[in-house]
Amino acid sequence: MNGEQYGKVTVNGRTAVIIGGTSGIGWGIARAFAEDGADVIATSRNDAKVADATEKLRSLGATTRAVACDVRDSTSIERLYEQAADVLGNIDVLVNSAGSVARASVTEMTDEQWERDIDVCLTGVFRACRIFGRRMDSGSIINISSMSAGQARERRAAYCAAKSGVNGLTRAAAADLAPDIRVNAISPGFVKTPLSGDAFDEGTKTRTAIDERTPMSRVATPEEIAGAAVYLASEASSFTTGEEVIVDGGYSDSAF
Ligand SMILES: NC(=O)c1ccc[n+]([C@@H]2O[C@H](COP(=O)([O-])OP(=O)(O)OC[C@H]3O[C@@H](n4cnc5c(N)ncnc54)[C@H](OP(=O)(O)O)[C@@H]3O)[C@@H](O)[C@H]2O)c1
């Protein structure tokens, strides 16, 4: 940007890696980026899901490569970076969207459930920020947090703790990686995805309660989270770092 024009809300011509990009919010972001002209690698643990997402991205015109990755394993993330850089060159954008949610009260939650959510949702984000942050020349890292980071939610102790941690990690990483790499979080509200299962289907008790409290009177689609990701990955957000962008239809601030 030369100061005479505003940064455009576009990722056209950028390179991006979306971890957790084969499903739900991550896939919504991967598809939006490819439709907007970015070259995108969408990855997760499952080879078949990775192959399917890669084929779809290719059919949208993106340069891409099928690379599986498990955020619980630093070596796997190192390999992802090497494979991505080999085909895309410098990586401009990293999106961390891998997720896991254990549903148990704090008195019932097992060590295994706790450790899995913390490992996937928090430590995995740290590992990817460390590995990509060391190697990216410049660009934007976007961590998918959750409005649960700032809420009291029953039977989600590990998940809420992990997402609060993601917001703290995002601020600290933004300080460490400035000025070349910006780091921000997106905190979605309720989004209908495979992770949320059928709980958000119309007519369910949960969905009715959500609709009553949410000013927008509905849950989100993954594409509605992708808009915030395009903004945070683009030059339009060139002075935004260390922030949490909440995309929840007004739910968090609603008194009813
Ligand atoms: N849905 C919501 O209402 C909601 C609300 C707020 C925040 N979020 C957050 O949004 C993110 C995406 O959730 P989603 O709802 O889109 O879920 P989703 O559809 O289940 O997608 C999760 C993705 O993460 C991948 N993944 C899971 N464990 C992984 C691991 N260890 N390493 C690499 N990839 C892994 C999954 O693929 P594989 O199984 O193939 O690995 C999948 O691609 C999560 O961080 C979640 O906490 C969701």
Residue with tokens 């992802």: 80
Residue among 47, 153, 166, 46 at smallest CA distance from 95: 166
The answer, yes or no, to whether the previous bond of 215 is cis (omega within 30 of 0) is: no
Task: Locate the domains of the chain by residue range.
Answer: 15-246
Is ligand 1 within 6 A of the CB of residue 249? no
What integer pLDDT is reported at residue 3 of this predicted model?
A: 56
Q: What is the pLDDT of residues 99-115, one digit of tens each?
A: 999 999 999 999 999 99
Tell me the average pLDDT across 200-210.
94
**Average pLDDT score, the chain:** 96
Task: Please state, in angstroms and rounded to a whole number, the distance separating the CA atoms of residues 99 and 124.
Answer: 9
Predicted TM-score (pTM) of this structure:
0.98
Is ligand 1 within 6 A of the CB of residue 200? no
Query: Which tokens sit at 203?
Result: 């007519």
**Could you tell me the CATH superfamily of domain 15-246?**
NAD(P)-binding Rossmann-like Domain (3.40.50.720)
- Nearby residues of 251 by Cβ (< 8 Å), 6 or more positions away: 147, 189, 190, 210, 213, 214, 215
Q: Is the pLDDT of residue 2 over 80?
A: no
Q: What is the pLDDT of residues 17-26, one digit of tens each?
A: 999 999 999 9
Backbone angles phi, psi at 14, to 5 degrees: -90, 165
For ligand 1, the distance from its centroid to the CA atom of residue 5, given in whole angstroms, is 37
Q: Is the pLDDT of residue 1 over 80?
A: no
Looking from the CA of residue 145, the nearest atom of ligand 1 is 7
- Say if residues 100 and 117 touch (Cβ distance below 8 Å): yes
Atom 20 in ligand 1: which residue has the minimum CA distance? 195
What integer pLDDT is reported at residue 6 of this predicted model?
A: 87
Q: What is the pLDDT of residues 118-160, one digit of tens each?
A: 999 999 999 999 999 999 999 999 999 999 999 999 999 999 9
Edge to edge, what strands does the sheet with 181-188 contain? 39-43, 15-19, 93-96, 139-144, 181-188, 244-247
Is ligand 1 within 6 A of the CB of residue 23? yes
Atom 47 in ligand 1: which residue has the minimum CA distance? 99
- Could you confirm whether 159 is annotated as catalytic? yes
